[in-house]
């Protein structure tokens, strides 16, 4: 039959996929969002306990950035041409 213009599976070009966020970074991001929400609710109710939630949000935010950055460097190291 005629050529359909498709490449065979052995001739496909490798695709460069976007880096996947590590699972722990996703968990710390969820904790950060929930801590911010808890801080807002706490301050609206007039409780000083919101300070603890703000501190927890800051800590989890830093953890999120750390794990995202670490995941990117690990992915770059795995796909390096000159390894």
Longest dimension (CA), the chain: 77
Which pLDDT score is estimated for 79? 74
Note the Cα 45 to chain centre separation in Å.
Answer: 32
Which tokens go with 70?
């670490």
Tell me the mean pLDDT per 10 residues along the chain, length 83.
60 62 91 98 96 97 94 81 60
- Say what the pTM is: 0.69
Q: How far apart are CA 38 and CA 13, in angstroms?
A: 48
């Amino acid at each position: 039959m005629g050529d359909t213009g498709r490449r065979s599976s052995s001739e496909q070009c490798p695709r460069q996929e976007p880096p996947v966020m590590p699972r722990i970074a996703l968990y710390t991001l969820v904790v950060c969002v929930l801590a911010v929400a808890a801080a807002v609710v706490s301050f609206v109710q007039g409780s000083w306990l919101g300070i603890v939630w703000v501190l927890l949000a800051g800590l989890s935010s830093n953890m999120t950035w750390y794990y995202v950055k670490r995941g990117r460097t690990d992915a770059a190291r795995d796909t390096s041409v000159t390894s």
